[in-house]
Structure formats: structure tokens, C-alpha cells
Structure 1
Amino acid sequence: MIQQSTWFSNYSHEITISSLCDYFYCSKATLINTFKKRYNQTVHQYLLNYRLEKAKEQLKIQSLSISQIAYNCGFNDANYFSKAFKKKYGVSPSMIKNKKTSR
């Protein structure tokens, strides 16, 4: 049902349940239930984890600011991004970025 390469390629843009339902021609209930069964997490959790993973990759190789990387990965609030990042990885985005620059 879900083809990640198609709709996750736009992960930096706003992705809503409604837009996904329109894209896949299904109801909200069908999308939510099918997604949860297939990926064992909600659409929101999956998208958040995907964006955080992309941000982590960018922090390791990009010379952009943390705020710009957060924005590039679909986060509108750099503080929320930092909190979510630290919750998932146990370190702040700046620690990942500083490891890159100290090598």
C-alpha cells in the first residue's frame, strides 16, 4: 500500500493524514489501520522517526545550522526538533554536529 520512495521524498514538506488519504484514495480509518498493521507504529511516529534519521545524516555531513537542517527535514520549530532528537538519540543535535567538526 505505502510506497515510501514516493511520498517520503517530500518529507521536508507538510504531510497530513488528509493528503495521504487523497494520494492513496482511501479513507482516514483505512490509512491509519493499514499503516499501523504494516509498520507497527502510527503515521506520525513513522514520519517523525524518518525525519529525525534524515536530520542525523545531515548533521554528520552538512555545514548548515541546526535550525536550517531542522527546517530542511520538515520541522517548523527548531526547539521541538532538538527535544525530539534528544529524546530519540539521547544526545543533542549539536553534539552530533560537533563530533563532525572535531574530526
Structure 2
Amino acid sequence: MTSQNRTNCPIKRATDTLGDQWSFLILREFFLEGPRRFADLQDQLGLSPNTLSGRLKKLEQAGIVERRMYSEHPPRAEYALTEKGRTLSPVMDALFDWGMTHAPM
């Protein structure tokens, strides 16, 4: 790791996109269960609708998840990882392994 340009550091860019607990927990749900509906994510995570919606929009804007409509009347959507999102698998595995080894229960 070099320290040449910290304002445009890849770690900073990554944490700007993913750097909150809820984003990682939302991603966990996709890796464990696959595509998910908003209500299912909300039930599993216990997030307020505004918080969940904001995190999903941020992940969607970053190209990590995509929103797919499955009903027009009433409009309903599910969310799924994109190809870019699936490339986070080693990161999620590393976080899981680190948590199992170093984070107290």
C-alpha cells in the first residue's frame, strides 16, 4: 500500500461507497439469500424504511445492486446483486472470517 495520494485513495473510495454497518448487513442478506424484496430486507434487518431505502439507493447508484420490478399493479420491486456487487464476495468472506476470529460474541 502506498501513501502517495490519500485524497484519492482506493480505500477511501471504497469506504465512501460501503462504509456503514447497514450497507454491509444488506449485502450479507444478498449473499445469503439471493435477490430480496424490500419488505423482506426490512423484516430481517429491523431497519426503518427511510434508512433501508437510502442505503439501497446508494448501493444501486454505485452499481452494486439493481432494482427489478416484479409487479406493475401495485408496483413492487426486488433487489439483487449486480456482477459488480458479486465481486464483493471475497471482501464479505474476509469480514466474516475476521469477525469469527477477532470480534467478541
TM-score of the aligned structures, taking structure 2 as reference length: 0.33
Higher helix share: 1
TM-score of the aligned structures, taking structure 1 as reference length: 0.34
